[in-house]
Amino acid sequence: MSQTTTNLQISVEEPKAWSRKLVITVPASRVKSERAKVTKQLAKRVKMPGFRKGKVPTDRIEARYGPDIDRQTQQQAIDAAFREAINEKDLDPISEPRVANVSYDRDSELTFEVLFDIRPEVTLARLGGFRLSRPEVSVAEAEIEERLAALQQQQALWKPVERRAESGEMVEVEITPLEAAEGEASEARQYKFVLGEGQAIPGVEASIMTLEPGSGGEFDVGFPDDFPDESKRDTSQRLRIDLQQVMEKELPALDDVFAKSVGDFDSLAALEEALSEDLLRYKEQEVELQLNHKIIEQILEANPFEVPESMVDRYVEALIGPPPEDADPGLVDQAREEARPTAEWGIKRSLVLQRIATDQGFEASKEDVQERVQDIAKRAGRPAGEIRSRLAKSGELGEIERRITEERVFEFLKEQSEIEVVGS
């Protein structure tokens, strides 16, 4: 609740739509009163030779601590006056106040300026009448086949073969450095990896593919110029490589048995139908996200506004996170600068959605959130109380509330414009 202050002089300036500058004058009587309080509090704690604690004369305290008393008086008077001023003017700062041009004298009034950001008031004169398009969504047979092939790869078995290895096959090898660098062990090590996936340097893989299972040989292997250990780049080393086993991937047949092995599906046709539905749902979600982005872009173009630099700064820090201790300051500054457009757009999007949700009464209620939690619990086959407890602990209940609100806002916004479905 705002309190009316009668002994402060306050003027309010608006350097920008989202910033405020207060020029505050504290009367001399209040400054003197504040200084007397500071002096009295200090006198209770001060010890001086020849005087009992709390009994030191004021003139002695002034002589020794006068500048400190002035600094504390000034700070306390400014803090108290600022709090009263924003209450009286009904302002809600969202950034740290920046105090400037302080004029202080212990026997006269105190004047200072303070600059801070406030949450911008977003005015949306136009929310619709836009012409937008969205692609028609469908799933091609090739896409289902690609998903089935990926599932085949996941369910594949590795089968030993008695021949030289090829790219894409798994090998088990023993590698022994014959010319170990100083401080480097020359003992044999066992490795198991798939050729062609970058798990070993090209020279090692090429050498392995010349061997038969159960055989070995000595090879001069060169290290590439992008090798992680910089000391070994563009150098070579003699290695003993023994190929112990070669295994090729055996894919399961695409049939009803395979379908049952990957999930609760009665047949391959049922699996294909489920994959098609998942693909279609994913594509529809992507199209909706793109359409929502276009709607916000149109609204921002029709209703331009600026956002406080302090909000952008905080959003940027959230986007890039704290930099490593040894990070290059120049690169960190570059990352922050590159993140600013994304941060500013994200803030504007949030402010627009909040304004519409408030104006239209679309905010999600506790009952709405509980209903969504029950839906999640039903799909997961778990008790609603258990799911709600887990979501509350992870902080995801707030995200559910935000999502419900945004869904309502975008549903409303789509009704305000013409959306044409075009062939993909």
Domains parsed from the chain with CATH numbers: 9-117 (3.30.70.1050), 157-250 (3.10.50.40), 259-422 (1.10.3120.10)
In the chain, count H helices and then E strands.
11, 11
Q: What is the pLDDT of residue 327?
A: 86
User: What is the C-alpha to C-alpha distance for residues 398 and 271, in angstroms, rounded to an integer?
Assistant: 35
Structure-derived torsion over alpha carbons of residues 351, 357, 363, 368, reported in degrees to the nearest 10: -110
Q: What is the pLDDT of residue 4?
A: 44
Q: What is the pLDDT of residue 418?
A: 95
Q: What is the pLDDT of residue 119?
A: 87
User: What is the C-alpha to C-alpha distance for residues 95 and 309, in angstroms, rounded to an integer?
Assistant: 9
Residues 110 and 31: beta-carbon distance below 8 Å: yes
In this model, does residue 41 exceed pLDDT 90? no
Over residues 67-96, mean pLDDT: 92
- Which DSSP letter does residue 93 get? B
In this model, does residue 323 exceed pLDDT 50? yes
Over residues 22-34, mean pLDDT: 94
Contacting residues for 17 by C-beta, under 8 A, at least 6 apart? 120, 121, 305, 306
Q: What is the pLDDT of residue 6?
A: 58
Show the tokens assigned to 114.
């303070």
Residues 177 and 237: beta-carbon distance below 8 Å: yes
List C-alpha distances in Å: 253 to 113, 156, 258, 263. Answer: 78, 10, 7, 15
**Per-residue pLDDT reduced to its tens digit, 122-181:** 999 999 999 999 999 999 999 999 999 999 999 999 999 999 999 999 999 999 998 766
**Per-residue pLDDT reduced to its tens digit, 334-354:** 999 999 999 999 999 999 999
What element of type H or E holds 177?
strand 170-177
Q: What is the pLDDT of residue 163?
A: 94
Exposed / middle / buried, residue 127 (Cβ in 10 Å: 0-12, 13-18, 19+): buried
Residue 216 forms beta bridges with which residues?
A: 242
Q: What is the pLDDT of residue 1?
A: 35
β-strand 110-117 against 19-26: which pairing, if any?
A: antiparallel
In this model, does residue 183 exceed pLDDT 70? no
Q: What is the pLDDT of residue 181?
A: 60
**Per-residue pLDDT reduced to its tens digit, 277-322:** 999 999 999 999 999 999 999 999 999 998 998 999 999 999 888 8
Residues 118 and 91: beta-carbon distance below 8 Å: yes
User: What is the C-alpha to C-alpha distance for residues 54 and 222, in angstroms, rounded to an integer?
Assistant: 82
Q: What is the pLDDT of residue 2?
A: 38
Q: What is the residue-averaged pLDDT of the chain? A: 90
User: What is the C-alpha to C-alpha distance for residues 130 and 108, in angstroms, rounded to an integer?
Assistant: 61
Residue (of 345, 367, 334, 248) closest to 296 by Cα position = 345
Contacting residues for 364 by C-beta, under 8 A, at least 6 apart? 400, 401, 402, 404, 405, 408
**Per-residue pLDDT reduced to its tens digit, 370-402:** 999 999 998 888 899 999 999 998 989 999 999
Residues 356 and 362: beta-carbon distance below 8 Å: yes
Residue (of 316, 304, 322) closest to 341 by Cα position = 316
**Per-residue pLDDT reduced to its tens digit, 101-126:** 999 988 899 999 999 999 888 999 99
User: What is the C-alpha to C-alpha distance for residues 300 and 316, in angstroms, rounded to an integer?
Assistant: 20
In this model, does residue 63 exceed pLDDT 60? yes
Exposed / middle / buried, residue 87 (Cβ in 10 Å: 0-12, 13-18, 19+): middle
β-strand 131-135 against 216-222: which pairing, if any?
A: unpaired
Rg (CA), the chain: 35
Over residues 184-201, mean pLDDT: 88
Cα atoms in the 13 Å half-sphere on the side-chain side of 56 = 21
Counting residues of the chain whose pLDDT is more than 70, the rounded percentage is 96
